[in-house]
Amino acid sequence: MRATDFSVKDALGHDIALSQYAGKVLLMVNVASHCGFTGQYAGLEELQKKFPKDFSVLAFPCNQFGNQEPEDNQEIQKFCQMKFHVSFPVFAKIDVNGKDRHPLYSFLVEQKKGFLGTEGIKWNFTKFLIAKDGSVLERFSPQTEPVAIQSRIQEALK
């Protein structure tokens, strides 16, 4: 199983096969518009621009942490475009924890545990670096700024 074996919904509710990203290095991030880490959108966009060919950020809005993503999918898209001018995909809202956890996130947390071996996502802007073959390389905490991941992305692109 690989991260690119899953499907997700786009903001309009259409199924999107992540297999279209096979062969690329990916940074999968659960995001929120009203979080103390929301400014990381700017850093994520910088990474997207720095590595435009074989890399993509994939953002997954989630409202499971302090009700920090209460808007609907269209409002989230508008916010990301107007405030941060993102060029990477921002998919439909998903759950990253609990009984309704999206299967993609069940896979991600199974592959790379968090601090002290925990599986659950602790907060918004937890990041997973995915290799070109769809395997999960590394998990980064919400406090890890996108720029700090740049060298790991470069290594994965080789």
CA dihedral 153, 13, 108, 128 (to 10 degrees): 20
The total number of structural domains in the chain stands at 1
Could you tell me the pTM of the whole model?
A: 0.93
Q: Is pLDDT of 22 > 90?
A: yes
CA dihedral 77, 88, 153, 97 (to 10 degrees): 40
Q: Is pLDDT of 115 > 70?
A: no
Q: Which pLDDT tens digit goes with each residue over 35-78? A: 888 899 999 999 999 998 899 999 999 999 989 999 999 999 99
pLDDT score recorded for residue 117? 63
Q: How far is it, in rounded angstroms, from Cα 149 to Cα 102?
A: 25
User: What mean pLDDT do residues 32-37 have?
Assistant: 89
Q: Which pLDDT tens digit goes with each residue over 80-102? A: 988 899 999 999 999 999 999 99
Q: Identify the domain containing residue 119 by its residue range.
A: 3-157
| CATH code: domain of residue 127 | 3.40.30.10
pLDDT score recorded for residue 144? 96
Q: Which residues are catalytic?
A: 35
